[in-house]
Amino acid sequence: MSTFIHPLSDVQSKNIGDNTRIWQFVVVLPDAKIGKDCNICSHCFIENNAVIGDRCTVKCNVQIWDGITLEDDVFVGANVTFCNDRHPKSHNKDFKLEPVLVKKGASIGANATILPGVTIGENAMVAAGSVVTKDVEANMTYIKK
């Protein structure tokens, strides 16, 4: 099997691993890094300073912004929202990027919101619809609505 990039996607990055599948209406900016054996579903956006490890699944309608890192074997459900700025404003001259780290094997359920500066531990599970405001420990199930 080889890497598949749907003709209706806009993949500008050359940093795409072998056997990764990128579906229609996905935008990947030039400096983004996506590992091997990943599945990036339709209508996703991956910014320049985003890193996605090997064997990750990113379901539909997810944006992976600058400073977001998904380690290997991470699952991100549909419509998950990542945030990298605690005080967002248009044309904010005081913008301070706060990275998010999702560690190996973690899973994030659909419609969860991950706030800036959070680390989700190895093999942790974030329940669908949760709002993650603080670090999630390894192997923990996090439910907060």
Catalytic residues: 87
Asked if residue 112 lies in contact with residue 126, where contact means CB atoms within 8 angstroms, the answer is yes
Residues 60-84, mean pLDDT to the nearest whole number: 98
pLDDT mean across residues, the chain: 97
pLDDT tens-place string over residues 42-71 = 999 999 999 999 999 999 999 999 999 999
Predicted pLDDT of residue 131: 97
pLDDT at 89: 92
CA distance to 18, 19, 51, 137, per residue, from 65 (Å) = 22, 23, 9, 23
pLDDT in the model for residue 1: 67
Beta carbons within 10 angstroms of residue 5's beta carbon? 17
